[in-house]
Amino acid sequence: MATLEAKIGKEHEVAAFLKSALPLVEAELGTVSWFAIRMSSTTFGIFDVFHDEASRDAHLAGDAAKALMVKAPELFSQPPKIEKVDVLASTLS
């Protein structure tokens, strides 16, 4: 789970950047599901689901994560807050 706080005036760029990351994530074999979300006018998030810990680690070292970190100083008012969370129950099969 990543929480992203957009700089004032960069909200549309953050939304476009997150949408543009979809093909990078789709190329990751171990990423089961990936969601780019908006929680408020300036707060965005990413929620990912993985097959296993190795897939999660591969994603965090992958192209989408690298692109996020490159764009972070330009787009976000603070560094992305990235937390490893575990899904306890879901409707995904």
Where in the chain does DSSP place strands (E)? Answer: 2-5, 31-38, 43-50, 81-82
- Which residues, listed in sequence order, are joined to residue 70 by a DSSP beta bridge? none
> What pLDDT sits at residue 78?
97
Average pLDDT estimate for 15-35: 95
- Tens of pLDDT, residues 50-81: 989 999 999 999 999 999 999 999 999 999 99
> What pLDDT sits at residue 40?
98
- Going by C-alpha positions, the residue among 11, 20, 83 that lies closest to residue 43 is 11
| CATH entry 3.30.70.100 includes domain 2-82 | yes
| Domain range summary for the chain, segments of one domain joined by + | 2-82
> What pLDDT sits at residue 92?
81
> What pLDDT sits at residue 60?
94
Q: What count of Cα atoms within 13 Å lies in the side-chain half-sphere of residue 92?
A: 12
At 31, list the tokens. 């990423």
Q: What is the pTM of this model?
A: 0.91
